[in-house]
Amino acid sequence: MQFETLGRHILVEYYNCDEEILKDPKNIEKYMNDSALNAKATIVDSVFHHFNPWGVSGAVIIAESHLTIHTWPEYGYAAADFFTCGDIDPWKSFELLEELLKAERSESTEIPRGLTSKIQKFSKKDLGKITFKPEAI
**Which residues belong to the active site?**
65, 70, 85
What radius of gyration, in Å, describes the C-alpha atoms of the chain?
A: 16
Q: Is 42 helix (H, G, I), strand (E, B) or coil?
A: coil
Strands 56-62 and 77-85: unpaired
**Among positive and negative, which fits the CA dihedral 10, 13, 14, 19?**
positive
Q: Strands, DSSP E only, in the chain?
A: 5-15, 43-50, 56-62, 65-72, 77-85, 105-115
Question: Dmax of the chain from CA atoms?
Answer: 53
Q: Which of 62, 55, 59 is nearest to 47 (CA)?
A: 59
- Count of residues for the chain? 137
